[in-house]
Amino acid sequence: MCIGILGGGVWGSALARVLSQNKVKIYARDENIVKSINESRIHPKLKYSSFNNNVKATSYLKDIRNVKYLFITLPAQNIREVIEQNSLHNKNHNIIICSKGIEISSSKFLTEVFNEVIPYKSISILSGPSFSSEVSQNLPTAVTLATKNKKDFDNISKLIPNKEFRIYYSKDLIGTQIGGALKNIYAIAAGISHGLNLGENAKSALISRSFAEMTRYANKFKADKNTLFGLSGLGDLILTCNSTSSRNTQFGIKIASSKYDNFLDLLQSQEVTEGYYTVKAVYNISQKKKIDMPIMESVYNILYKQHDLKEELSNLLNRPLKDEKI
């Protein structure tokens, strides 16, 4: 059996190593990445992890059209333009979305984007606390795999004999997507807190109240609260907010540490920072659905309205006192 991975970044390549007891083909636009994988057996940005001979790369979508299982690891905002290409379409695909985000242009979850654009046999969400560099080195990792049909979970599980990469079952596709998408917003906030030297007390409070906002948001979509308390919600939030290895956290640190007139310059200087895009989609949705999300709004105001960081911090600290509840 051949497995396809749509996306040649570090996350797709880390998953390729997890799946490499099967034949794996990675689609990447960058010919340098394709050449590195095929000739040197490494991804240029995962130099401490090599591939076995089961892993190949291609720059042609048609080469992964006939795979049975297709793992999606593209940046969320790029997914629609790629999957719209007919050379990829196959109604027998079992789609596993491993990307995290919400489409800005439509304010839709990624499962909704796939429903609009592409035929498939089944669709699942893989999400949780999983830094690519650690996954690629076979360090212990646990994630959520959400799918409506338990049989699909069982079949996908069999593709991953690697005991260091443990997956837990959920049937809550929406809740699993919400946790994976929103934690990137709060990682930016955590990075700003770190950059401003606000201390560990502040970071703990930030993570706790961010989790409350995530849960309120999920409730509006009738997600299972247990999902948010699991790996794809609280687990991913804790990892991302507490580690300077996170691109989103690093982005927040750089915002707080330097003066930027244009965040696009900063975005282009590092790997894809999903939180920057996700916060715009979440802000628009929260306004329509009247969801109280003050930390998210502060991040949005800083990134898109050029509000002063310390002014936003003051606004948060001076909010009316209230009962602690989710």
Q: Model pTM?
A: 0.94
Surface-to-core class of residue 32, CB atoms within 10 Å of its CB (0-12 exposed, 13-18 middle, 19+ buried): exposed
Mean pLDDT across 239-260: 89
Choose the final residue of a domain: 146, 171, 196: 171
- Answer yes or no: are the C-beta atoms of 274 and 100 closer than 8 Å: yes
Q: What is the mean pLDDT of residues 262-267?
A: 74
Asked if the model's pLDDT at residue 188 lies above 80, the reply is yes
CATH of the domain at 297: 1.10.1040.10
Structure confidence by residue, pLDDT tens digits, 39-94: 999 999 987 889 999 999 999 999 999 999 999 999 999 999 999 999 999 999 99
Residues 32 and 164 in one domain: yes
Would you please indicate which residues are annotated as catalytic (active-site) residues?
Answer: 183
**Do 214 and 132 lie in a common domain?**
no
Residue 156 sits in the same domain as residue 227? no
Instruction: Give the count of alpha carbons within 13 A of 17, CB side only.
Output: 25
Do 109 and 195 lie in one domain? The reply is no
CA triple 320-321-323, angle to 5 deg: 130
CATH number at residue 126: 3.40.50.720
Last residue of a domain, one of 140, 171, 202: 171
Q: Is residue 76, in this structure, part of any structural domain at all?
A: yes
Structural domain includes residue 322: no
Structural domain including 91 reads 2-171
Domain assignment present for residue 326? The answer is: no
23 and 120 housed in the same domain: yes
